[in-house]
Amino acid sequence: MNDIRIRTIDWQTTPALRTIRQQVFVEEQKVAPELEWDEHDLTATHFLLTVDERPLGTARLLASGRIGRVALLPEARGKGLGKILMLAVMSHGRDAGMRQLELSAQTHALGFYEQLGFVVCSDVYEDAGIPHQRMRWTPTAD
């Protein structure tokens, strides 16, 4: 892993965003395609993580401050790349003046987001048949 980059990318012209989400959510986690693809994809800020120019992760940030569709391909997991991706999304939101960021975390990933400073703010609920909890992060002045 030499060249790790995270860029904001256009949804319409970057098929890698769809490829990663298709593999992680639709194929691996069995999320129904009609639940995965939505109208927010056209207006969200999309992030693409590449390692040595290979697309390995993605996330999106809505204008409301909601982070979603955070996904890493299996080969990219457990290497700290998810943290790098999330820190870029959080920094972007803070720099854009967002006073709070929220996400819907799969319960198995709560510890990951807690290490980034997110706090749980809901009971467990099902989304696409997967247990989730809402989490919130409030940026602090550096």
Query: What residue segments make up the domains of the chain, in order of their start?
Result: 4-137
8-to-34, 48, 78 alpha-carbon distances in Å: 24, 6, 23
CATH superfamily of 4-137: Gcn5-related N-acetyltransferase (GNAT) (3.40.630.30)
* The predicted structure's pLDDT at residue 139: 84
At a CB cut-off of 8 Å and minimum separation 6, what does 84 contact? Answer: 4, 6, 49
pLDDT digit string (tens) for the chain, length 142 residues: 589 999 999 999 999 999 999 999 999 999 999 999 999 999 999 999 999 999 999 999 999 999 999 999 999 999 999 999 999 999 999 999 999 999 999 999 999 999 999 999 999 999 998 999 999 999 875 5
Half-sphere exposure at residue 66, Cβ-oriented, CA atoms within 13 angstroms: 11
Helices (H), the chain: 15-21, 33-36, 81-95, 110-115
129-to-44, 93, 109, 134 alpha-carbon distances in Å: 24, 29, 15, 15
97: left (phi over 0), alpha (psi -120 to 50) or beta: left
* Residues 55 and 49: beta-carbon distance below 8 Å: yes
Half-sphere exposure at residue 40, Cβ-oriented, CA atoms within 13 angstroms: 18
What single-letter DSSP state applies at residue 74?
G
What SS3 state is found at 123?
Answer: coil
32-to-12, 18, 29, 65 alpha-carbon distances in Å: 21, 14, 9, 25
* The predicted structure's pLDDT at residue 2: 80
